[in-house]
Amino acid sequence: MIRKPCVLFLCTHNSARSQMAEGWLRHLAGDTFEVFSAGTEPRQPHSLAVEAMRECGIDISGHTSKGLEGILGHVPVRYAIIVCAQASNECPRIYPALGEVLHWPFDDPSAATGSEADQLAVFRRVRDEIGERLRSWLLIMPQNPPSLP
Where are the chain's structural domains?
6-140
Least confidently predicted of 19-23, 75-79, 85-89, 93-97: 93-97
pLDDT over 50 at 50, yes or no: yes
| pLDDT given at position 86 | 66
User: Quick check: 98 and 104 in contact, CB under 8 A?
Assistant: no
From 84-93, 120-129, 137-146, the region with the lowest mean pLDDT: 84-93
Question: Which one is catalytic: 35, 91, 98, 120?
Answer: 91
Q: Which long-range contacts (CB under 8 A, 24 or more apart) does 110-116 make?
A: 110/13, 110/15, 110/16, 110/46, 116/48
**What is the Cα–Cα distance from 8 to 78, expressed in whole angstroms?**
8
Residue 23 has a pLDDT of 98
Q: Which of 29, 50, 60, 84 is catalytic?
A: 84
* Residue 131: half-sphere exposure toward Cβ, Cα within 13 Å: 16
Question: How many whole angstroms separate alpha carbon 91 and alpha carbon 38?
Answer: 11
**Annotated active-site residue in 11, 38, 112, 120:** 11
Mean pLDDT of 57-81: 89
pLDDT of residue 59: 98
84 is catalytic: yes
Determine the pLDDT at residue 144. Answer: 54
Per DSSP, the three-state class of 11 is strand
Q: pLDDT tier at 123 (50, 70, 90 boundaries)?
A: very high
CATH superfamily of 6-140: Response regulator (3.40.50.2300)
11 counts as catalytic? yes
Cα distances (Å, whole numbers) of residue 86 to 12, 55, 147: 7, 28, 29
pLDDT at position 27:
97
Say whether pLDDT at 108 is over 90.
Answer: yes
Of all residues in the chain, the percent with pLDDT exceeding 90 is 65
**Is residue 18 over pLDDT 60?**
yes
